[in-house]
Amino acid sequence: DGGITQSPKYLFRKEGQNVTLSCEQNLNHDAMYWYRQDPGQGLRLIYYSQIVNDFQKGDIAEGYSVSREKKESFPLTVTSAQKNPTAFYLCASSPYVSQDGYTFGSGTRLTVV
């Protein structure tokens, strides 16, 4: 079955360390997205990519970085510059031209200890 896989489901990081969250999709989707969700809050867009080797900042890109070397993969690095990284991170993908919306992964919960 096609889908989008995020790993790990839970991640603990010490302050001052960078950490990379994985997102892989086998849906042949062109576009991929990273969102952050804080408890009781909505979704905030961090970065998105519509084609390989290209990506754009979303609303809260500071302290994060991404790469898009392969169509299937869109890893997110949470750097030590991110002041408050503890959150639930969601990855999503969509076809470039579609009225079907997004397919979401199951999320990664990052906790800074």
Partner 1 sequence: GNSVTQMEGPVTLSEEAFLTINCTYTATGYPSLFWYVQYPGEGLQLLLKATKADDKGSNKGFEATYRKETTSFHLEKGSVQVSDSAVYFCALSLVGNEKLTFGTGTRLTIIP
In terms of CB distance, is 15 or 100 closer to partner 1? 100
Q: Does residue 75 belong to the site contacting partner 1 (CB under 8 A)? A: no
The rounded distance, in Å, linking the Cα atoms of 23 and 3 is 11
Unique residue bearing structure tokens 């890109």:
61
**Smallest distance from partner 1 to CB 16, Å:** 27
**Distance, first Cα to last Cα, the chain:** 36
Unique residue bearing structure tokens 């991404």:
66
**Which residues in the 1-40 window bind partner 1 by CB under 8 A?**
6, 31, 33, 40
In terms of CB distance, is 20 or 41 closer to partner 1? 41
Give alpha helix (H) positions in the chain.
Answer: none
Q: Does an H or E element contain 35, and which?
A: strand 31-37
**From the list 1, 15, 54, 97, which residue makes contact with partner 1 (rule: CB under 8 A)?**
97
Question: Which residues of the chain form contacts with partner 1 (CB under 8 A)?
Answer: 6, 31, 33, 40-43, 45, 48, 50, 90, 92, 94-107, 109
